[in-house]
Structure 1
Amino acid sequence: MLFVDMILAVAVAISFIPILTGYCAYNYGRSFWLWFALGWLLPLASFFLLTALILREQLDPGRRLLAEARLILREAGEKKVLKEE
Protein backbone atom coordinates (compact mmCIF):
# COMPACT_ATOMS: atom_id res chain seq x y z
CA MET A 1 0.00 0.00 0.00
CA LEU A 2 2.87 2.36 0.74
CA PHE A 3 4.25 1.72 -2.74
CA VAL A 4 0.97 2.79 -4.38
CA ASP A 5 0.94 5.97 -2.31
CA MET A 6 4.48 6.76 -3.36
CA ILE A 7 3.64 6.23 -7.04
CA LEU A 8 0.62 8.53 -6.75
CA ALA A 9 2.69 11.20 -5.00
CA VAL A 10 5.34 11.05 -7.73
CA ALA A 11 2.66 11.24 -10.47
CA VAL A 12 1.11 14.32 -8.87
CA ALA A 13 4.52 15.96 -8.47
CA ILE A 14 5.46 15.25 -12.09
CA SER A 15 2.08 16.54 -13.33
CA PHE A 16 2.45 19.87 -11.56
CA ILE A 17 4.81 21.49 -14.10
CA PRO A 18 2.89 20.48 -17.26
CA ILE A 19 -0.41 21.66 -15.77
CA LEU A 20 1.13 24.93 -14.59
CA THR A 21 2.80 25.48 -17.97
CA GLY A 22 -0.43 24.80 -19.84
CA TYR A 23 -2.41 27.08 -17.55
CA CYS A 24 0.05 29.96 -17.94
CA ALA A 25 0.10 29.50 -21.71
CA TYR A 26 -3.70 29.49 -21.90
CA ASN A 27 -3.91 32.71 -19.87
CA TYR A 28 -1.62 34.45 -22.34
CA GLY A 29 -3.46 33.29 -25.44
CA ARG A 30 -1.35 30.28 -26.29
CA SER A 31 -2.39 26.67 -26.77
CA PHE A 32 -2.95 24.85 -23.48
CA TRP A 33 -2.48 21.38 -24.99
CA LEU A 34 0.72 22.26 -26.86
CA TRP A 35 2.38 23.65 -23.75
CA PHE A 36 0.96 20.86 -21.60
CA ALA A 37 2.60 18.30 -23.93
CA LEU A 38 5.86 20.27 -23.92
CA GLY A 39 5.66 20.32 -20.13
CA TRP A 40 5.59 16.53 -20.11
CA LEU A 41 8.41 16.17 -22.64
CA LEU A 42 10.69 18.92 -21.34
CA PRO A 43 9.37 19.95 -17.93
CA LEU A 44 11.81 22.64 -16.80
CA ALA A 45 12.85 23.79 -20.26
CA SER A 46 9.25 24.37 -21.37
CA PHE A 47 8.42 26.30 -18.21
CA PHE A 48 11.42 28.61 -18.57
CA LEU A 49 10.82 29.04 -22.32
CA LEU A 50 7.19 30.01 -21.74
CA THR A 51 8.26 32.41 -18.98
CA ALA A 52 10.77 34.04 -21.35
CA LEU A 53 8.12 34.39 -24.08
CA ILE A 54 5.64 35.96 -21.67
CA LEU A 55 8.26 38.35 -20.28
CA ARG A 56 9.29 39.38 -23.80
CA GLU A 57 5.66 40.09 -24.63
CA GLN A 58 5.03 42.03 -21.42
CA LEU A 59 8.22 44.10 -21.58
CA ASP A 60 7.78 45.16 -25.23
CA PRO A 61 5.58 48.29 -25.25
CA GLY A 62 4.27 47.60 -28.76
CA ARG A 63 3.17 44.07 -27.90
CA ARG A 64 1.62 45.27 -24.66
CA LEU A 65 -0.38 47.96 -26.49
CA LEU A 66 -1.49 45.41 -29.06
CA ALA A 67 -2.69 43.07 -26.31
CA GLU A 68 -4.61 45.94 -24.67
CA ALA A 69 -6.21 46.88 -28.02
CA ARG A 70 -7.30 43.27 -28.57
CA LEU A 71 -8.85 43.20 -25.10
CA ILE A 72 -10.75 46.45 -25.77
CA LEU A 73 -12.03 45.14 -29.10
CA ARG A 74 -13.09 41.83 -27.54
CA GLU A 75 -14.98 43.64 -24.77
CA ALA A 76 -16.67 45.96 -27.32
CA GLY A 77 -17.73 42.94 -29.37
CA GLU A 78 -19.19 41.26 -26.29
CA LYS A 79 -21.14 44.42 -25.38
CA LYS A 80 -22.49 44.66 -28.92
CA VAL A 81 -23.68 41.04 -28.81
CA LEU A 82 -25.38 41.61 -25.46
CA LYS A 83 -27.07 44.77 -26.76
CA GLU A 84 -28.49 42.94 -29.77
CA GLU A 85 -30.07 40.29 -27.57
Structure 2
Amino acid sequence: MLFVDMIFVMAVALSFIPILTGYCAYNYGRSFWLWFALGWVLPLASFFLLTALILREQLDPGRRLLADARLILRDAAQAKAAAQSPE
Protein backbone atom coordinates (compact mmCIF):
# COMPACT_ATOMS: atom_id res chain seq x y z
CA MET A 1 0.00 0.00 0.00
CA LEU A 2 2.86 2.36 0.74
CA PHE A 3 4.26 1.78 -2.75
CA VAL A 4 0.97 2.86 -4.37
CA ASP A 5 0.91 6.00 -2.22
CA MET A 6 4.48 6.84 -3.22
CA ILE A 7 3.67 6.42 -6.92
CA PHE A 8 0.60 8.65 -6.54
CA VAL A 9 2.62 11.38 -4.78
CA MET A 10 5.33 11.20 -7.45
CA ALA A 11 2.74 11.47 -10.25
CA VAL A 12 1.16 14.52 -8.62
CA ALA A 13 4.57 16.14 -8.07
CA LEU A 14 5.69 15.46 -11.64
CA SER A 15 2.46 16.83 -13.11
CA PHE A 16 2.63 20.11 -11.18
CA ILE A 17 4.75 21.97 -13.77
CA PRO A 18 2.77 20.76 -16.83
CA ILE A 19 -0.53 21.68 -15.19
CA LEU A 20 0.80 25.07 -14.10
CA THR A 21 2.22 25.74 -17.56
CA GLY A 22 -1.05 24.77 -19.24
CA TYR A 23 -3.09 26.87 -16.83
CA CYS A 24 -0.93 29.96 -17.38
CA ALA A 25 -1.05 29.46 -21.14
CA TYR A 26 -4.84 29.10 -21.12
CA ASN A 27 -5.25 32.28 -19.07
CA TYR A 28 -3.28 34.22 -21.67
CA GLY A 29 -5.17 32.87 -24.67
CA ARG A 30 -2.84 30.05 -25.64
CA SER A 31 -3.59 26.35 -26.03
CA PHE A 32 -3.78 24.50 -22.70
CA TRP A 33 -3.05 21.09 -24.22
CA LEU A 34 -0.08 22.24 -26.27
CA TRP A 35 1.61 23.82 -23.28
CA PHE A 36 0.60 20.92 -21.03
CA ALA A 37 2.34 18.51 -23.44
CA LEU A 38 5.38 20.79 -23.64
CA GLY A 39 5.40 20.85 -19.85
CA TRP A 40 5.74 17.07 -19.81
CA VAL A 41 8.41 16.94 -22.50
CA LEU A 42 10.47 19.96 -21.40
CA PRO A 43 9.26 20.87 -17.91
CA LEU A 44 11.46 23.77 -16.90
CA ALA A 45 12.23 25.01 -20.40
CA SER A 46 8.54 25.24 -21.33
CA PHE A 47 7.69 27.08 -18.12
CA PHE A 48 10.43 29.68 -18.63
CA LEU A 49 9.59 30.04 -22.33
CA LEU A 50 5.93 30.66 -21.53
CA THR A 51 6.92 33.15 -18.83
CA ALA A 52 9.09 35.02 -21.33
CA LEU A 53 6.25 35.11 -23.89
CA ILE A 54 3.80 36.41 -21.30
CA LEU A 55 6.25 39.05 -20.07
CA ARG A 56 6.92 40.19 -23.63
CA GLU A 57 3.20 40.53 -24.21
CA GLN A 58 2.58 42.35 -20.94
CA LEU A 59 5.51 44.77 -21.33
CA ASP A 60 4.56 45.81 -24.88
CA PRO A 61 2.13 48.75 -24.55
CA GLY A 62 0.51 48.09 -27.94
CA ARG A 63 -0.27 44.47 -27.11
CA ARG A 64 -1.58 45.47 -23.69
CA LEU A 65 -3.90 48.08 -25.22
CA LEU A 66 -5.12 45.54 -27.77
CA ALA A 67 -5.88 43.03 -25.00
CA ASP A 68 -7.78 45.70 -23.05
CA ALA A 69 -9.78 46.66 -26.15
CA ARG A 70 -10.72 43.01 -26.73
CA LEU A 71 -11.96 42.73 -23.15
CA ILE A 72 -14.05 45.89 -23.52
CA LEU A 73 -15.58 44.66 -26.78
CA ARG A 74 -16.32 41.24 -25.29
CA ASP A 75 -18.04 42.80 -22.27
CA ALA A 76 -20.06 45.13 -24.52
CA ALA A 77 -21.19 42.20 -26.68
CA GLN A 78 -22.23 40.23 -23.59
CA ALA A 79 -24.15 43.21 -22.21
CA LYS A 80 -25.90 43.69 -25.55
CA ALA A 81 -26.83 40.01 -25.72
CA ALA A 82 -28.15 40.12 -22.15
CA ALA A 83 -30.23 43.20 -22.90
CA GLN A 84 -31.77 41.59 -25.99
CA SER A 85 -32.63 38.26 -24.37
CA PRO A 86 -36.26 37.91 -23.31
CA GLU A 87 -36.90 37.32 -19.65
TM-score normalised by length of structure 2: 0.94
AA partner of residue 10 (structure 1): M
Is residue 31 from structure 1 mapped to residue 22 from structure 2 by the alignment? no
Task: Report the counterpart of residue 60 of structure 2 in structure 1.
Answer: 60
Aligned equivalent of 2:4: 4
* TM-superposed deviation, 1:80: 0.8
Once the 2 structures are TM-superposed, how far is the Cα of residue 2 of structure 1 from its aligned partner? 1.8
- How far 1:79 moved relative to its partner? 0.6
Q: CA RMSD in A?
A: 0.7
Where in structure 2 are there 5+ consecutive unaligned residues? none
After the TM superposition, list the runs of 4 or more consecutive aligned residues in structure 1 that deviate by more than 6 angstroms. none
String of CA shifts for 1:8-57, please: whole Å, max 9, x gaps: 11100001011100110111111111111111111111100000000000
* Total equivalences in the alignment: 85
Q: Which shows bigger deviation, 50-59 or 1-10?
A: 1-10
